[in-house]
Structure 1
Amino acid sequence: MNTSVTETKKRTRFTLPSFGVQVLIGLVLGVALGLVARSMGADGVDAATGEVDPNWLTETLSTVGGTFVTLLRTVVPPLVFLAIVASIANLRDVTGAARLAWKTLAWFALTALIAVAIGIVLGLVIQPGEHTSVASDAAAAPSSTGSWLDFLTGLVPANVLGLEGSAGDDGSVSMSFNVLQILVVAIAIGIATLKVGEAADPFLTFVRSALAVVQKVLWWIILLAPIATIGLLGNAVATYGWDALGSLGTFTLAIYAGLLIVLLGVYPVLLRLNGLSVKQFFTGAWPAITLAFVSRSSVGTMPVTQSVTERNLGVPRAYASFAVPLGATTKMDGCASIYPAISAIFVAQFFGLDLSVTDYVLIAFVSVIGSAATAGVTGATVMLTLTLSTLGLPLEGVGLLLAIDPILDMGRTAVNVTGQALVPTLVAKREGILDQAAYDAPRGRTAWRDELDPESTRPADREPATSPA
């Protein structure tokens, strides 16, 4: 009797769809609500500023999406600092750590060079700047720019936390952070812990405990991603509609063509050349790739990327905990390679300027060397302005592309994160430290929850499945 009651409860218990399905539902609802909000029109125009007042639905979508991005940015400083310090300290448990570090950086540079070459070729073949209906009055210099001087001076931390303050016209003071400075401070402290030796063990224990706490908080934020998807995508549709996407259709096509060539062409070739299954890699990395697409944040996705790299792809934890955090802040095949290459060609063509062979070499150089300037949070404006200023192209060209940046940033970040999981896997395979059994293992049906929750466990007798969702 009791057994039948228990079985009935199990059959009738409501369960939520998998995380992947929730995200897909969020995408559909976001587009639908965005179209509804756009059809409602604006509430009016502010007489003082002349700005259009959005309607209540657009404002709600903007608030929902903006809150999620703000929450992600809140955990970025402690997450980057703790993860980098812990990852460098973990290298002392890895044989040949220096060799692994240099090979990781070399693969970062190689894949970035391939990506930027693809971007340049697509820009020359498709010629997005010649096939656009965007008006020239849309050109406007961005509020923040990147230059080599800013990049180099930005390497010097203003304080140990990498925090910066700015005063507004109304007397208010706002705080921001510089991920690059946090990265420099964390690397210095991480190396110092290696040099100090056993005396630093209590500090490392604290760092690892604090990192686990921050990752748990981040896990709670990640649970909001399906809802945030509605706000982020809905606000983009309501604000820009399809007009901006249509006027920049060729440019959008070029960007996504480049991203797909790298994601579905270059990466699979590299996997096959190293004797690895393409299907196993993508099913294993899928939770991180999809979360990156939704959140548009490499750093926010970092714990998930590290989890799938270790548990699904078989990369040793001591090495993955170094390579993945480093990649999350410096490895940007989408934002720092494909996007700035095609964008620079677009701007040059739009303003009727010719690029020389030297200019194309400079594009490749900036993409490979300056990718850390993208900061791994959201957007690639800094990297784009760094590229344009290096080539001497008008920075006003950035204003032409800002309208569709959120749509492009989803694909860019997904490619970024895929590369951040790929390189440690390739290096581990070539060094003979990859757990091939873990890489080839069937994926569990509840892999979404397992890989997103850092404290979850995977029972050995879990029923396998062929889909990551």
Structure 2
Amino acid sequence: MSSTLRKFPFSAQILLGLVLGVALGFLARANDLSWLASTLDTVGGLFVQLLKLAVPPLVFTAIVISVVSLRGVANAARLALKTLLWFGATALIAVSIGIGLGLVTNPGRGVSLDVGGATAPKTTGSWTDFLTGIVPTNPVGAFVEGNVLQIVFLALVVGAAALLVGAAAEPFVEVNRAVLAIVQKALWWVIRLAPIGTLGLIGHAVAAYGWDLLAPLAKFTTAVYVGCAVVLFVVYPLLLVTAARLNPLRFFAGAWPAIELAFVSRSSVGTMPVTQRSVERLGVPREYASFAVPFGATTKMDGCAAIYPALAAIFVAQVFGVDLGVGDYLLIAFVSVVGSAATAGLTGAIVMLTLTLSTLGLPLAGAGLLLAIDPILDMIRTATNVAGQAVVPTIVAAREGTLDRDAYAAAGRRDLTDADETADAEPPARRDELTPAPA
């Protein structure tokens, strides 16, 4: 049985799960089969829980080991700075596309919705969330709550301290290496369940929401999908070609398992293990990938924090009859580039949207109008997020001369599950992998 599954491509397994999930979802909705809808919800929910279960120890141990391994690496600070600059630049491009599409399509014009009954979401974002959310009240609380941004902060502090302590901290570092290896092995087992998880997640979305809810918001939904598709299949390939001289087809071949899983799981953090694995298979040094991918999973959200809030803000303004000026569009761009970090420890694109609406002075109740179709929109948003989280480390590594171009050229020629699982248990690469090759 195991050998049969290995011969069946992983992407094809997920696609089969998606098709079966849609069919079962429509069956449950059309025949009012509550037991089937509940079963699909349970299956999908358990899969996401299993993914997220390992995220705190994975993020913490990977970053601690990566910081310690940076001893003697002269270009570490430059790598971090360039990564952040590319995060910001691609977010600016994405939000510009979102604003442009909003101005062209006017998604809120002619929409007939009961705005009187709209209420603001219970969870909202503010600019103080970044300062109050990044530092935990206690270390245990960050892990219990699964606050990734706080875990990243703790890992950076602990890793830096271990780096300065030196040899005395080596036993602690070795423990982290062992925990990382164990978590990666367990995650590989969970990843193999992705086709079943896909069936449950997609099936529940169709059974619970259907497609009939999209009718009054068809223009807005189409704009979100088109905007994400432009960034995903036009902007990223252009950047790979012009900035890194890389073949975009090879990038998508290597990163597709992560993008595909992100689409169905709707969780950038839950997809993070697959994203990191894909980035490493594209030739990005593991040491650098272990930094860039966890940071990207919490702060790099071109779909949720750039395209979507830009279009949604224009939609809400038009529905409520509020005219936006040039200054308002500049504010949208600013919030999209900077604000995603302020909401990294919270949940969902709705938080980012409420931050944008409050900054523009628009009614927060407008976000409530979009809640019904949010799961449908979240699929393409998350896929775009994860693609951006993979493309930036690839570009930076290529420009720094540390990308293994042979590995990049071979990306996607083997299925993700074909790789020897023991490779996932290896510690991050040594610092010489981040040293640019001689010209």
TM over 0.5: yes
1:441 aligns with 2:377: no
Contact 1:308-1:451 within 8 A present in 2 as well? no
Q: What is the CA-CA distance between 1:374 and the residue it aligns to? A: 4.5
Instruction: Provide the residue aligned with 2:158 in structure 1.
Output: 189
- Equivalent-residue separation in structure 2 for 1:256 and 1:147 (angstroms): 27
Letter in 1 for 2:138: N
Structure-1-length-normalised TM-score: 0.84
Letter in 2 for 1:117: S
Letter in 2 for 1:304: V
Aligned to 1:361, what secondary structure does the other structure show?
helix
- Equivalent-residue separation in structure 2 for 1:243 and 1:30 (angstroms): 18
Letter in 2 for 1:302: M
- 5+ residue gaps, structure 2, are 427-439
Structure having greater relative contact order (Cα 8 Å, sep ≥ 6): 2
Q: What is the CA-CA distance between 1:415 and the residue it aligns to? A: 1.2
Aligned to 1:148, what secondary structure does the other structure show?
coil
Contact 1:20-1:448 within 8 A present in 2 as well? no
| Structure whose CA Rg is larger | 1
Instruction: Provide the residue aligned with 2:251 in structure 1.
Output: 281
1:120 aligns with 2:99: yes
- Equivalent-residue separation in structure 2 for 1:59 and 1:358 (angstroms): 47
Give the aligned length.
Answer: 425
1:106 aligns with 2:76: no
1:40 aligns with 2:31: yes
- Equivalent-residue separation in structure 1 for 2:331 and 2:212 (angstroms): 33
- Counterparts in 2 of 1:386-465, with a 5 A limit? 386-441=355-410, 443-450=412-419, 455=424
Q: What is the CA-CA distance between 1:114 and the residue it aligns to? A: 0.6
1:141 aligns with 2:120: yes
1:237 aligns with 2:206: yes
Aligned counterpart for 2:266 among listed residues 296, 300, 305: 296
Contact 1:304-1:452 within 8 A present in 2 as well? no
Contact 2:98-2:306 within 8 A present in 1 as well? yes
**Structure number having the greater helix percentage:** 2
- Equivalent-residue separation in structure 2 for 1:247 and 1:453 (angstroms): 50
Q: What is the CA-CA distance between 1:348 and the residue it aligns to? A: 1.1
432-441 or 369-378, which deviates more: 369-378
- Equivalent-residue separation in structure 1 for 2:90 and 2:363 (angstroms): 28
1:358 aligns with 2:327: yes
Q: Identity across aligned pairs (percent)?
A: 63
Structure-2-length-normalised TM-score: 0.90
Aligned counterpart for 1:76 among listed residues 33, 43, 55: 55
Which deviations, in whole Å up to 9, do the C-alpha atoms of 1:14-49 show, x marking residues without a partner? 76622211111111111111111112237xxxxxxx
Q: What is the CA-CA distance between 1:376 and the residue it aligns to? A: 8.0
Contact 1:71-1:221 within 8 A present in 2 as well? yes
- Counterparts in 2 of 1:327-366, with a 5 A limit? 327-366=296-335
Q: What is the CA-CA distance between 1:230 and the residue it aligns to? A: 1.8
Aligned counterpart for 1:254 among listed residues 205, 209, 223: 223
Contact 2:184-2:424 within 8 A present in 1 as well? no
Instruction: Provide the residue aligned with 1:27 in structure 2.
Output: 18
Contact 2:118-2:366 within 8 A present in 1 as well? yes
Which deviations, in whole Å up to 9, do the C-alpha atoms of 1:268-295 show, x marking residues without a partner? 1111112111111111211221122222
Letter in 2 for 1:59: S
- 5+ residue gaps, structure 1, are 1-8, 43-54, 165-174, 458-469
- Equivalent-residue separation in structure 1 for 2:116 and 2:210 (angstroms): 19
- Equivalent-residue separation in structure 1 for 2:4 and 2:238 (angstroms): 44
- Equivalent-residue separation in structure 2 for 1:245 and 1:65 (angstroms): 22
Structure 1 residues 96, 245: CA separation in 2 closer, same or farther (over 3 Å shift)? Answer: same
Instruction: Provide the residue aligned with 1:198 in structure 2.
Output: 167
Contact 2:129-2:342 within 8 A present in 1 as well? no
RMSD, aligned α-carbons: 2.5
Aligned to 1:438, what secondary structure does the other structure show?
helix
Instruction: Provide the residue aligned with 1:47 in structure 2.
Output: none
1:367 aligns with 2:336: yes
Aligned to 2:145, what secondary structure does the other structure show?
strand
Structure 1 residues 214, 254: CA separation in 2 closer, same or farther (over 3 Å shift)? Answer: same
Displaced runs of 4+ in structure 1, greater than 4 A?
A: 12-16, 451-454
Instruction: Provide the residue aligned with 2:183 in structure 1.
Output: 214
Structure 1 residues 34, 341: CA separation in 2 closer, same or farther (over 3 Å shift)? Answer: same
Q: What is the CA-CA distance between 1:305 and the residue it aligns to? A: 1.7
Structure 1 residues 447, 157: CA separation in 2 closer, same or farther (over 3 Å shift)? Answer: closer
